[in-house]
C-alpha cells in the first residue's frame, strides 16, 4: 500500500469518512507480541482505511530503531545472544526500554548459535526497513510538521538520533491547527479529575504557544507535546486505536472519535468507547 495517496484516489478518500487512526503504541505493540499482533490485525480487518502520522514514526524510532541499533552493536561485540541477555540483565538500569523490548522480541526457542544469528538478521532487517515499516501497512501517513527526524535512515553505522538542528514546520502547523489545539486544551482543563501530569503539560504548552508558536521549534519542548500533536493529526478520523488510555480518553472527546483501547492483557477484548456524539462538558467561560 502507498503511504501517501495522491491524485483522484486521495481526493475521493478524503471526501468520505476516514476510518481508523493508529497511535504509536499500536505500531510498537504489533512488533512486541505475537498475541497482540493477532488481535491488532483482527481489529483492523474491520476498517478499509488505516492512517497514522509522521510523529508516530519518530516515537517508533525512539523505541524500536534506537534499540535495534544498540542491540546490534552490542551483539556484534559479544557475538552471543545469551551473553547479550546477561549484559542487559546485569548492567542496564531497571525498566530501561532496551530490557523490555529485548525480552518481548528477541527471546525465541532456538539453539544458542542459531538464536544469535537470527537476532542479528532481525535487527538488521528492522534497521533496513526503518520507519517504512509503519507506512507499509497504513494507507496514509500524515506529515503536517514535516520533521526530518521521521525520515532519517538507520543502520549499524548510522544510529537513530534527533537531528542537530530542528528541520520542521511545527510552528506553522500549530498556527494552522490552532483551533484544534485549543479544543484539546479546553478538554483537559474541563476534566481535572482525569488530568495526568502529561495532559497538564499539554494544556500549559498549548496555552504558551498560542502567543508564541516558535517556542515549539525547540525539539525538547516539541517532544513534550508529542501525543497532542498526534491527536491533532488524527482529526477527521472517526476512530482512534491506542494502548494509551489515560491521555487518549481525554483527547478523543473534543475530536469526537471512537476510542479503541488495546488492553495490556492480550486476552482481554479491545474496549470501545464512542465519543462521536459527546457534547462539550461545559461552555467557554
Task: Give the burial class of 31: count Cβ atoms within 10 A of its Cβ; 0-12 exposed, 13-18 middle, 19 or more buried.
Answer: middle
Could you tell me if residue 124 is inside a domain? Answer: yes
Answer yes or no: is pLDDT of 100 > 90: no
For range 201-210, the mean pLDDT: 97
Average pLDDT value for residue range 16-40 = 87
Asked whether residue 101 carries a pLDDT value surpassing 80, the answer given is no
Structural domain includes residue 61: yes
The answer to whether residue 283 is domain-embedded is no
Q: Per-residue DSSP letters for 158-181?
A: B-----SS--S-HHHHHHHTHHHH
For residue 71, pLDDT over 60 is answered with yes
Q: Please provide the average confidence, as pLDDT, over all residues in the chain.
A: 86
Domain for residue 240, yes or no? yes
Q: What is the pLDDT of residue 274?
A: 96
- Say whether pLDDT at 186 is over 90: yes
Lowest mean pLDDT among 14-23, 233-242, 274-283: 274-283
Q: Are 87 and 177 in contact (CB under 8 A)?
A: no
* 248 domain-assigned: yes
Look at the chain and count its residues: 285
pLDDT at residue number 12: 39
The grid cell for 84 is 547479550
Q: Work out how many domains the chain is built from and give that number.
A: 1
41-67 pLDDT, tens digit per residue, is 999 998 999 999 999 999 999 989 998
44 located within any domain: yes
Residue 190's pLDDT is what?
Answer: 95
Rg (CA), the chain: 20
Judging by beta carbons within 10 Å of its beta carbon (0-12, 13-18, 19+), is residue 13 exposed, middle or buried? middle
pLDDT of residue 113: 80
Examine residue 1 and state whether it is found in any structural domain, yes or no: no
**Confidence grade of residue 175 (pLDDT, cut at 50, 70, 90):** very high
Residue 280 within any structural domain of the chain:
no
Assigned C-alpha cell, 250:
481525554
pLDDT reading at 283 higher than 50: no
Q: Which of 55, 280, 47, 71 shows the shortest CA–CA distance to 186?
A: 280
Residue 95 pLDDT > 80 = no
Res 5: pLDDT? 40
Domain hosting 70: range is 17-274
State whether the Cα torsion 186-182-262-122 is positive or negative. negative
2 confidence band (pLDDT: 50, 70, 90): very low
Higher pLDDT, 93 or 213: 213
pLDDT at 99: 60
Exposure b/e, 61-74, CB count within 10 A at least 16 = b: bbbbbbbbbbbbee
Amino acid at each position: 500500500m502507498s503511504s501517501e495517496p495522491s491524485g483522484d484516489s486521495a481526493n475521493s478518500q478524503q471526501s468520505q469518512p476516514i476510518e481508523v487512526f493508529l497511535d504509536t503504541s499500536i505500531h510498537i505493540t504489533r512488533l512486541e507480541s505475537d498475541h497482540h499482533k493477532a488481535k491488532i490485525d483482527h481489529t483492523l480487518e474491520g476498517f478499509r482505511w488505516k492512517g497514522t502520522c509522521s510523529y508516530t514514526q519518530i516515537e517508533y524510532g525512539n523505541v524500536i530503531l534506537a534499540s535495534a541499533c544498540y542491540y546490534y552493536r552490542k551483539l556484534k561485540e559479544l557475538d552471543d545472544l545469551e551473553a547479550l541477555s546477561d549484559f542487559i540483565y546485569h548492567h542496564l538500569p531497571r525498566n530501561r526500554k532496551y530490557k523490555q523490548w529485548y525480552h518481548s522480541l528477541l527471546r525465541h526457542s532456538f539453539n544458542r548459535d542459531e538464536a544469535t544469528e537470527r537476532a542479528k538478521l532481525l535487527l538488521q532487517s528492522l534497521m533496513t526497513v526503518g520507519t517504512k515499516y509503519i507506512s507499509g501497512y497504513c494507507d496514509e501517513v500524515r506529515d503536517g510538521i514535516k520533521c526530518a527526524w521521521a525520515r532519517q535512515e538507520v543502520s549499524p553505522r548510522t544510529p537513530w538520533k534527533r537531528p542537530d538542528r530542528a528541520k520542521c514546520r511545527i510552528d506553522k502547523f500549530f498556527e494552522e491547527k490552532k483551533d484544534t489545539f485549543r479544543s484539546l486544551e479546553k478538554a483537559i482543563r474541563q476534566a481535572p479529575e482525569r488530568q495526568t501530569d502529561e495532559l497538564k503539560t499539554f494544556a500549559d504548552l498549548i496555552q504558551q504557544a498560542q502567543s508564541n508558536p516558535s517556542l515549539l521549534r525547540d525539539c525538547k519542548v516539541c517532544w513534550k507535546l508529542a501525543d497532542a500533536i498526534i491527536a491533532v493529526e488524527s482529526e477527521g478520523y472517526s476512530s482512534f486505536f491506542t494502548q494509551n488510555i489515560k491521555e487518549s480518553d481525554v483527547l478523543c472527546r473534543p475530536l469526537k472519535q471512537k476510542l479503541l483501547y488495546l488492553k495490556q492483557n492480550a486476552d482481554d477484548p479491545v474496549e470501545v468507547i464512542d465519543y462521536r456524539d459527546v457534547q462539550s462538558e461545559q461552555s467557554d467561560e
